[in-house]
Amino acid sequence: MFGQRSSASAVGAPEPAAELDLNSDLNFLLARATALSVAASNAALATHGLKVRSYAILVVAASGERPSQRDLASFLHLDPSQVVALVDDLEQRGLVERLPDPRDRRANVVVATELGLATVGRALADVRGVDAQTYAGLTAAEAEQLTELLRRVAFPD
């Protein structure tokens, strides 16, 4: 069902509006592709005790950027109060540290520990593994193309 639009409606049924085809709807395709991506990523991350949100925090903490919790919140589109809980969890497991920001005594800088760096490296490899399945329908060039188009949507500037 829903593979292609039926060319004729059932006799007597109210006429459906024209362009009501979710298979061509960017919002719908985006949501569905993301659902597959998140499910696959979470499966790959479960081995490491991570989910997409905690993994994203860990990746940025391991990037060398030394983000504050506020930076993490705005970059990852999370509420600051959610970052607290996520960093709490990662810190208790020894994957990240909260370090004082020398330039603002209100702020914490979140940095991955050595264990955190090792963990994110292994997690990344596993995510790449499931990505091969998730994006199996695309060639490498198409995946690169998709990345560029999505970047323009995700970061409108």
Partner DNA sequence: TATTGTTATACTCTATAACTATA
Partner DNA sequence: TATAGTTATAGAGTATAACAATA
CA atoms within 13 Å, Cβ hemisphere of 66: 8
- 87 interacts with, out of a copy of itself, DNA, none, CB within 5 to 8 A per kind: DNA
- Phi and psi (nearest 5°) for 139? -75, 170
In the bound complex, what is the minimum distance in angstroms from residue 92's beta carbon to a copy of itself? Answer: 20
Angle 136-137-138 from CA coordinates, rounded to 5° = 90
Query: Residue 107: which of 136, 141, 140, 80 has the closest Cα?
Result: 80
Q: Do residues 126 and 45 touch, judged by C-beta distance below 8 A?
A: yes
- 134 interacts with, out of a copy of itself, DNA, none, CB within 5 to 8 A per kind: a copy of itself
- Applying CB under 7 A, the residues found at the interface with DNA are 39, 51-53, 68-70, 73, 78-85, 87-88, 98, 101, 104-108
Q: Do residues 41 and 130 touch, judged by C-beta distance below 8 A?
A: yes
Choice between 83 and 120, CB closer to DNA: 83
In the bound complex, what is the minimum distance in angstroms from residue 151's beta carbon to a copy of itself? Answer: 6
Choice between 75 and 85, CB closer to a copy of itself: 75
- 12 interacts with, out of a copy of itself, DNA, none, CB within 5 to 8 A per kind: none
- 44 interacts with, out of a copy of itself, DNA, none, CB within 5 to 8 A per kind: none
Angle 111-117-120 from CA coordinates, rounded to 5° = 110
